Amino acid sequence: MPDTVRIETAKAETTTFREVMAEIIQRITEGPWGPGSLLPGEVELAEEFGVSRTTMNRALREVSELGFLDRKRKAGTRVRMAPIRQARFEMPLVRAEIEKTGAAYRYQLVSRDVILAPDWLRERMRLKARARVVHLLCLHFADGVAFQLEDRWINAQALPLATEQDFSAVGPNEWLVATVPFSEVEISFLAQAADAQMVAHLGHAPGDPVFCSERATWWQNAAVTLVTLAHRRGYRMTTRY
């Protein structure tokens, strides 16, 4: 009988690493593990929680990735003095972003040029002297209303195919993700004053603050593309957790 009871209890006691995570976070935010304190070792904790070390390790690793803990071999696991606040944003294709709201998506090419890269761009994309680039200006509409203005530069040397594309039907973003991979990405968010293009296409007043995201990508140390996305008035980039 005792055996049976123990087995049943054991079955009911199954603990997942998520439950362990929750308990750990609670001990950090409310309980005994204040900022800077040193946690017991994995083995000891695993015993206390009645889980395997593998499970305890995963729980600790994920709590650590949330920014609460600092883990070092030999030194042990320590609660961060100030938890690292992280903001994670998912940036889908404009098309997906618009269609998810139920609105109809429309794409329009505003202008297309193949030119010598200006100095600031050469520096920004680490291009060689006299490099040729494709410069595109595109609009993305949601239900007929301008949603986003895309100002894109493509390195023609790294991507000769781009000079042959006319981008009148398919946007450069969708063409690029299907055509070239990337090994290095740099993303920035910034506030910019509305310039003539934004005034003309997005309906801003001149000088209005515009939320822009900029993305530069490289593939095997060669610049691929640099794009600035100017968002509609009042746009916010938001995330929750």
How far is Cα 226 from Cα 218, in angstroms, rounded to an integer?
9
Residue 172 tokens, joined: 């450069």
Residue 60 interacts with DNA (CB under 7 A): yes or no: yes
The DSSP letter of residue 38 is B
Residue 18 tokens, joined: 């998520």
How far is Cα 121 from Cα 226, in angstroms, rounded to an integer?
9
Tell me, by CB under 7 A, how many residues bind DNA: 26
Residue 94 tokens, joined: 């404009």
Residue 30 tokens, joined: 């409310």
Residue 52 interacts with its own copies (CB under 8 A): yes or no: no
181 is in the binding site of which of DNA, its own copies, none (Cβ under 5 to 8 A by kind)? its own copies
Site string for its own copies, 68-107 (x = CB under 8 A): --------------xxxxxxxxxxxx--x-----------
How far is Cα 34 from Cα 41, in angstroms, rounded to an integer?
16
Interface segment toward its own copies; rule CB under 8 A; list 15-23, 125-133, 155-163, 184-192 = 184-192
Helix (H, G, I), strand (E, B) or coil at 16: coil
CB of 203 to DNA, least distance (A): 41
Residue 146 tokens, joined: 């301008």
Give the phi and the psi of residue 15 in degrees, each rounded to 5: -115, 135
User: Closer CB to its own copies, residue 8 or residue 181?
Assistant: 181
55 is in the binding site of which of its own copies, DNA, none (Cβ under 5 to 8 A by kind)? DNA
Binding site for its own copies (CB under 8 A): 29-30, 35, 67, 82-93, 96, 174, 177-178, 181-182, 184-193, 207-212, 215, 235-241
Binding site for DNA (CB under 7 A): 14-18, 39, 41-43, 50-55, 57-58, 60-61, 71-77
